Amino acid sequence: MKPEVQANKVVVLSGSGLSAESGLPTFRDAQGLWNSHSWQELASPDGWRRHPGTVLEFYNERRRKAWEAQPNAAHLAIAALQEHFDVVVVTQNVDALHERAGSRNVLHLHGELAFARSTSESPQRVRIDDAPIALGQVGSDGTQLRPDIVWFGEQTQYMTEARWHVATASKVLVVGTSLSVQPAASLVNAARGRAEKLLVSLEMERVPYGFRYQQGLATQRVPVIVEGWLAQPG
C-alpha cells in the first residue's frame, strides 16, 4: 500500500547546479572538478588509503570555498516555503547552503562538508563547520578523521527516508540537477501522479514522466515558483 499524500508537504530535490549559482564548481560539467582532478584519487576509499593527506587537502579547499559562498535567491526562496508548507529538502550537495539560507529539514544524500567522521568500524561523526581536517587529527575513538562525504563505491545515505518523503509530497520541485547520478536520480520515480511536479534545470536530456520542465537558472525560476505556491489559497 502506498503512503498517503500529505496536502501541505513540499519536497525539494536539489543538485549541484543550484550551488553553482552561488559560485561553487560542479563535478561533472565541462568545467567540472572531475575534469581537472581524478575521482579515483580524491573520492574513493582506495584513494584515501593511498594518500590521505592529498584527499584532506582537496576537501579542506572545497570546504573553504563552500563557506565563502553565500546562499542564492533560490536557496532563500526554498527556505521561505517553510512559512506555509511542511518542507523537506533532499540534496546531493555537500555544502551547507540550504541550512545557511534557513532550511530546517535537509537530507544530504552524499554527505556534508560541515562534518568529519572517524575511520573505525563504528565511526564517530563530529561537526567541524568550516574548519580543516589535519592528517593525524583523530576522533573520540582514536582513529583518523576523514570528510563525512559519500565517495564512489560507498552507500548513498537516507535513500529509504528520501523516497518516502517524495511519495508523500503533494508538491515536488527538482532543481539544479540533470538527474544523471544514480541512485539519487531514481527518487523522482516515487513522486505520485496527483502531486504537482516541477523540474528546473539549465539542460535536461529526458524529463521524467509527469514533470513540467522549466529551463533556466534556479535563481530566476525558483523564486517565481515559490511565490506562486505561497499565494495559493489554503
Q: What is the pLDDT of residue 26?
A: 72
Domain 1-24+71-110+156-234, CATH among 3.30.300.30, 3.20.20.105, 3.40.50.1220, 3.40.50.10490: 3.40.50.1220
pTM > 0.85: yes or no: yes
Which segment of 7-16, 63-72, 180-189 scores lowest on mean pLDDT?
180-189
Nearest CA among 72, 64, 128 for reference residue 103: 72
Residue spans in the chain of domains classed CATH 3.40.50.1220:
1-24+71-110+156-234
Distance CA 63, CA 93 (A): 12
Q: Exposed, middle or buried by CB within 10 Å (0-12, 13-18, 19+), for 170?
A: middle
| Mean pLDDT computed over 28-44 | 59
Residue 110 among the catalytic residues? yes
| Mean pLDDT computed over 153-170 | 96
pLDDT higher than threshold 70 for residue 66: yes
- The CATH homologous superfamily of the domain defined by 27-68+115-149: SIR2/SIRT2 'Small Domain' (3.30.1600.10)
DSSP string, 169-189: EEEEEEES--S-STTGGGGGG
Nearest CA among 99, 108, 158, 148 for reference residue 128: 148
Strand 146-149 to strand 111-117: parallel, antiparallel, or no bridges (unpaired)? antiparallel
Residue from 75, 108, 110, 165 carrying the catalytic annotation: 110
